Structure 1
Amino acid sequence: MDRHRILFVCAGNICRSPLAEGIFRHLVTEAGRSAEFEIDSAGTGGWHQGQRPDRRSVAAAAGHGIDISSQRARRIEPADFSSFDLILAMDQDNLKNLRKSAPADALGRLHLFNAFTLGSNRDIPDPYYGDREDFEAVYTMLLAGCSALLPKAG
C-alpha cells in the first residue's frame, strides 16, 4: 500500500506547522489509519533548527490531548519536494518562499493549507507574537483544516 506523504510548512517550524503535524497525526491515529500516512513539518527558515516547538504550541496541543513536545524544528530540504506528495503552507508568504525554491516538477504539490483543505485563501496567522488565545485560535483553525484533509487524503 502506498503511503500518503504530507508535509506542513510555516516560517520557523515552531508554532503552526508542528501544531498541524500533531493534530493531523492525532486524527489519523484516532481513525486507525496511521499505516497509510507519513506526516512531517518543516520551516522555510532555519532559525530554530533542532529546537522544540514553541511552549505555547505545546501547551495548546496538550490542552486537547496531543503531545507535540518531542518534535524538533527543521528547515525544508530540497529532497522534501520529491519525498512528499502534498506540501501545505500555512500562509501566502510561506507558499511564495516554497515556490521560489521548489523544482518545477514539484510546484503542483504545493498548496496553501486553507485553500487545499477548506477552499479558502485565508492564511493561518502566525501566533508567535501573540498570547495563549492566539495559539488556541490557530489550533481551532488547524483542527478544522486537518479534519477536512483526512477524508481527502486517501
Structure 2
Amino acid sequence: MRALAPALELDSCGTGGWHVGEAPYAPMQEAARARGYDLSRLRARQVSADDFARFDLILCMDGQNLRDVEAMRPKGAEVPVRLFTDFVETGETAVPDPYYTRDFDGALDLIERCARGLISS
C-alpha cells in the first residue's frame, strides 16, 4: 500500500500483543523483498483506542480481526472498520495468514490486489 500511495499515512498493527516490538516474520520479509518491498524497519504494535481518532479507515485482514477491532472501538468513535478484501471482487473474505498457510506469495498477491482496489475506490 505504501508503494502504491506514498502520500497516505499508513500503519500496520495487530489485535493481540504477542509480537509487539518485533520485526515482521523473516520469510514474509524475504517474499516482500523479492517484490521490491522493504519491511525491515517495521515493528509490530497492537491496535489502540487512539487509532480510532488517528485514522480515517481501519482495515482488517479477516472477520475475527474485524470483530476484535470493533470490540476495541471507543464509545462515539465513528471511523469505518472494514475488511481489506472488501476492495477486490475475487470472492475472498479474508487475507489468509501466511504464517500458517506458508503461502507468502499468495498473501502478497491478494494484498496487492486489495491495495489497488482500495486506491481506485
Q: Same fold (TM over 0.5)?
A: yes
User: 1:145 aligned to 2:117?
Assistant: no
Deviation at 1:108, TM superposition (A): 4.7
Following the alignment from structure 1 to structure 2, what is the Cα–Cα distance between the partners of residues 89 and 106? Answer: 17
| RMSD of aligned residue pairs (Cα, Å) | 1.5
Q: Which has the higher contact order (CA 8 A, sep 6+)?
A: 1
| 2:10 matched residue in structure 1 | 39
Letter in 1 for 2:48: E
Following the alignment from structure 2 to structure 1, what is the Cα–Cα distance between the partners of residues 67 and 92? Answer: 14
User: 1:49 aligned to 2:49?
Assistant: no
The equivalences for 1:7-26 within 5 A come to 24-26=1-3
Deviation at 1:127, TM superposition (A): 1.3
| 1:118 matched residue in structure 2 | 88
Partners of 1:44 and 1:76 within 8 A in 2: yes
Following the alignment from structure 1 to structure 2, what is the Cα–Cα distance between the partners of residues 40 and 67? Answer: 14
SS of the equivalent of 1:111 reads strand
Partners of 2:13 and 2:46 within 8 A in 1: yes
In the alignment, structure 1 segments of 5+ residues that lack a partner are 1-23
**What TM-score do the two structures reach when normalised by structure 2?**
0.91
Q: Percent identity?
A: 37
In the alignment, structure 2 segments of 5+ residues that lack a partner are none
**What TM-score do the two structures reach when normalised by structure 1?**
0.73
Give the one of 30, 34, 41 matched to 1:70. 41
